[in-house]
Amino acid sequence: MSAAERLAAFRFRFPVTVRFRDLDAMGHVNNAVYLTFMESARIAWWLHLTRSTDVQALSMILARTEIDYRSPVAYAEELVVGVRCTAVGRSSVRVETAIVAADGRVVAESRQVLVHFDYTTQKSRPLTEERRQQLLAQDPDLTIEI
């Protein structure tokens, strides 16, 4: 699958420009920075999905992430992070991201599990039907796992 085909699978895309501070001593993006790129895209995706602008109202926490690094990234490269939901459970959401460089390279791919969380009780809570419908409207190919 080409990078263009890979990115086409994502209805939500978030642009990132690599900054000098993102680099390590070897002159390429440090592996931990990919998590920040993915986090920024994931938060933007969630706010878009929920039609919110209030980051204080975020109700999802990251429970798991797995990253495959495909290609190094250098200073000032333009990237696009695609985000999509692949499955919805009772209180969790599985998300995939792909980071693609302007020249078409897939530079990283990840799988993440988000949990709908109640910060007052410090426990997970079931997703509402409204939230399920928002997820399905954004990513109609997702799997419902109840």
Q: Is the pLDDT of residue 134 over 80?
A: yes
Q: What is the pLDDT of residue 1?
A: 66
Q: Which amino acid is at 47?
A: L
Helical packing angle, 31-50 and 129-138, nearest 10°? 110
Query: What residues pair up with 29 in beta bridges, in sequence order?
Result: 23
* Across 75-93, average pLDDT: 97
Q: What is the pLDDT of residue 53?
A: 82
pLDDT (tens digit per residue) in 41-60: 999 999 999 988 887 778 89
Q: How far is CA 8 from CA 15, 98, 104, 110, 142, in A?
A: 15, 10, 12, 16, 15
Q: What is the arithmetic mean of pLDDT over 17-35?
A: 96
CB distance 106 to 98 below 8 Å: yes
CATH topology for the 3-144 domain: Thiol Ester Dehydrase; Chain A (3.10.129)
pLDDT at 25 > cutoff 80: yes
Residues in the chain: 146
Q: Residue 10 class from Cβ within 10 Å (0-12 exposed, 13-18 middle, 19+ buried)?
A: buried
* Average pLDDT of every residue of the chain: 93
- Candidates 26, 18, 139, 1; CA nearest to 81 is 18
In the chain, the N- to C-terminal Cα span, in Å, equals: 31
* The pLDDT value given to residue 54: 81
Where is average pLDDT lowest: 48-57, 98-107, 110-119? 48-57
Residue 120 DSSP SS3: coil
